[in-house]
Structures are given as structure tokens and as C-alpha cells.
Amino acid sequence: MVTALVMPSQHKPDSGRKLSATTGVSQPLWYSDEARTQLTVQFGLVNDGADTTKPELTESRLFINGSEFDRQRWRAMLNNGLRPQNSAAIPPGKYVLFSMELGRYFEKPGVYKIQWKGRHFESDELQIRVERMRSLDRNGRDPSQPADSKKTIWAGISLPNCLHISNDAESHVRLEFSLLNETDKAANPDLDSSNLLINGQALNAWRSILDKAIGPEHRKAIKPGAALSFACDCDDYFTKPGLYRIQWKGNGFESPKVACRVILRK
């Protein structure tokens, strides 16, 4: 197998921002009931500086759709949650990684943009979508939703592991993909013509990865209100340390970008 070389973004923190933050979720598309009980957000923080740094996690803030999550509640969750031993001070090149169960705050259908900020770090926005379970009629349409010609195919991509340790056999880059047909007609996403962009560069091996992930029997038109989801293991394309921003584009759809930080265990 030929592995295309993908270069990470050059990560050169300035004196005011020595920590780099990423966030991740296990899937981009959720249904209300499963979101409430299963949605967990992962938070990763790497010290890119030359000195040991205090991340001040309990002073960090969580934003959902631009509005700050209750600060006192967030601080209590950080104090009471499972946190790594080195969260008080991070040595150079080291990291902290933890997860929070936040499903109860994402039960209402809609698109959510999640961002984590601290005094010396700020993650990219992470976008997820929550849907209610739909009852389709015999024509495959949702009778509760009026026809809307402006709606399209919604696309999402996520990383369960936002921080990847490339020389650790237990660490993996698994990308989760979802498409939701928001139109009132069956839509063919034409997956074969889609591209996976890593730091703006199309991945040459995407077609072969796609062929392994999803068979031709699942590449048919998506019914109105229905979704298509699949996953790909992509460790081979995230071996060099750095920051990777990943996006999925096709004819008629374009996902938001997701960020993945790759480091080496020293």
C-alpha cells in the first residue's frame, strides 16, 4: 500500500499561548435519546512551550453556540471529574487528556458548536448535530416537516480521539462520518467523488479508504430525513507530530473542519 505524505500544520506557539487544545466526540450526528445518555466530549491539552506550565483547568471556560456554559457548574465538573495526575502542571511536550459526560445539555435537536477556552489556550470549534427520531411515511418523507427546496445534505465528521500519540499502539485515529438528507427528495451523495482534505490537501488514498469502509450496497440515494454514517481508521496518515485540520467535501455537501493533534510519546 502506498501511503501519501500529509504534512501537519506548523505549530509555533507564541509567548502568550504555550498550550494547544483540541476537543473530540465519538460521532458527529446524534439522536436525542442517545445523546442524553451517551454523548461524551474529550478534551486534550499539549504543552508546546519550553517550560512546565500550569493549565489552570478550573479557570477554563466551555462555550456552546457562542454562549458560555455555566462557569460554576463547569468548574465543579472539572473538580469532581476524572482528571490526570499532571493536570496541575504540564511539563514541556507532555499533555493532559480527559472526558466529560455532557449529553444532558445536548438533548434538543439542532446544530451545536463547542469550544473550550483557557487563559493560554483556545480550541477550534467542534460541531455536532442532534436530531429527533423521525417517522417517515410510505414515500419516505417526514410528514411533520414542510418541503423546503433550500435544504441540502448536511455533512459532519468527528474524532473520538482528539489527541493522537503516533508511536503508541493503543492510540488510533478513527474518523466518523455522517450525512443527513434534509431535503424532501431522495438524494445521491456520490461518495466516490468526495474528497478528504487534511490541512487543505486532498488525500490521494481516500478512494481506497472509502472502499474498505463502506460497500457499494450502502452508497445508494439517501431517503428524505434519513442518514448515512460510517467510520474509517486512518492511523497511517497522522504519523508526523503537529496539528491536523480535517474536512470532508463532496458534490452537494461540505463538513465543518475538525482538529486532531498528534504527538510522540517520549
Domains and their CATH numbers in the chain? 19-263 (2.60.40.10)
Beta strands in 133-206 (DSSP E): 153-158, 163-165, 174-181, 195-198, 201-202
Q: C-alpha dihedral over 142, 148, 153, 159, to 10 degrees?
A: -80
pLDDT reported for residue 15: 42
Q: What is the pLDDT of residue 84?
A: 52
The one-letter amino acid code at 197 reads L
Instruction: Tell me how far apart the alpha carbons of residues 172 and 185 are, in angstroms, rounded to a whole number.
Output: 37
Separation CA 7–CA 197 (nearest Å): 12
pLDDT of residue 247: 98
Do strands 174-181 and 153-158 pair parallel, antiparallel, or not at all (unpaired)?
Answer: antiparallel
pLDDT tens digits for the chain (266 residues)?
Answer: 333 445 565 444 334 458 999 999 999 999 998 898 999 999 999 999 999 999 999 999 999 999 999 999 999 999 887 565 557 889 999 999 999 999 999 989 999 999 999 999 999 999 999 998 655 445 545 555 544 445 689 999 999 999 998 877 778 899 999 999 998 899 999 999 999 999 999 999 999 999 999 988 778 899 998 999 999 999 999 999 999 999 999 999 999 999 999 998 76
